[in-house]
Every structure is written in C-alpha cells, then in structure tokens.
C-alpha cells in the first residue's frame, strides 16, 4: 500500500545518514521504533507510531531530491513506472487529472516534511518542475549552469549598442 510503504522508506532514509568525515565522532542517531521494555512507560504503544523528528543538518543535494521525487512518483499507483520520465507531462503523457496532482502533492509534503500550497501545486506540469520547485525551496543550485556577467554581457551590450546605432 502506498502510504505505509513510503512511510517506512522515509523513516529508513532518515535513519541512514551518510557518515561524512567532517561530521563529529558519534554513533548514528537511531530513533526508537520498537516497543521499549521499560515498564515505567505509560503508553508503550506510542513508541511504535513515533514520528521522526526532522534533523536540521540534512544536506540537500540535487541527486537526492531527484531520486526522492522519482521514488514518490513511482510509488503512486496511478503512474506507470515505465512511462515516467523527467519530462513526461502529468496531464498529457501520464493521464492524471487535478485530483491526482493534489494527491501527489500531499505525498511529497509527507516525504519532504514541508508544506506546498495549492497555488504552487497547480503549476506542476512535469516532474522536472517539482524538482526545480524543491531545489528553489532548499536553495540547491549545483545543477544550474552559472551565468557569468563577464564576456557574454559585454558581447550582448555591444550588439545592443550596434542595433541602437543602426536604427
């Protein structure tokens, strides 16, 4: 089932944090999901449904966002996994309507622990739009070609000046 499957995956992805050399020396921080055998716990069943706390030092990169978005889309049962590409449009190629887009947005909100308002989710046409939106939200710009304000600007300025001269 969709909801429990990707809830499990989000929990596991928050546990297994990449151990980079720059992190301080401590063990991986595991959240308890099993019943604790401490008798003093008033409600042991609360531990089973423990909601993982969002860690603020998660480092967002473009491949991570892209793979998570594609995973959430693949887990959606109305999307054919083989037909799903980065640029496949939801309405035309995959045959989804606005209700499905809302459902996908809700799943993405659960995955990325953020809110996506309706004004933004109305403009999602391809998965690439979603990934770009999330990159903008988390300030990920390593996949964007840097625009240098040097040579190209000078050439454009020269061309514009020449056009102004001729008119």
**Contact with other proteins (CB under 8 A): which of 66, 73, 105, 135?**
105
Paired tokens of 92: 């035309």
**Alpha carbon distance 163, 113 (integer Å):** 51
Report the C-alpha gap between 61 and 54 in whole angstroms: 17
Stretch that binds other proteins, among 20-28, 58-66, 93-101, 156-164 (CB under 8 A): 93-101
Residue 10 interacting with other proteins (CB under 8 A): no
Q: In angstroms, what CA-CA distances link 162 with 121, 124, 146, 157? A: 44, 41, 27, 9
43 secondary structure, DSSP code: -
Is 97 tagged catalytic? yes
Contact stretch for other proteins (CB under 8 A) within 3-11, 17-25, 87-95, 140-148: 3-11
Residues near other proteins (CB under 8 A):
1, 3-4, 7, 45, 49, 97-99, 102-103, 105-106, 110, 118
User: Annotated catalytic sites, by residue?
Assistant: 97
């Amino acid at each position: 089932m969709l909801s429990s499957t990707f809830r499990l995956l989000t929990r596991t992805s928050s546990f297994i944090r990449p151990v980079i050399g720059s992190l301080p020396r401590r063990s991986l921080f595991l959240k308890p999901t099993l019943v604790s055998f401490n008798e003093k716990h008033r409600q042991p069943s609360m531990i089973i449904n423990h909601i993982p706390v969002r860690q603020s030092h998660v480092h967002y990169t473009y491949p991570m966002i892209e793979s998570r978005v594609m995973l959430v889309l693949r887990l959606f049962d109305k999307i054919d996994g083989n037909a799903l590409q980065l640029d496949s449009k939801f309405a035309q190629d995959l045959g989804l309507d606005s209700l499905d887009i809302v459902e996908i947005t809700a799943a993405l909100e659960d995955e990325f622990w953020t809110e996506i308002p309706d004004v933004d989710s109305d403009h999602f046409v391809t998965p690439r739009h979603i990934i770009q939106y999330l990159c903008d939200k988390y300030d990920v710009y390593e996949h964007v070609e840097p625009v240098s304000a040097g040579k190209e600007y000078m050439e454009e300025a020269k061309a514009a000046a020449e056009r102004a001269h001729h008119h």
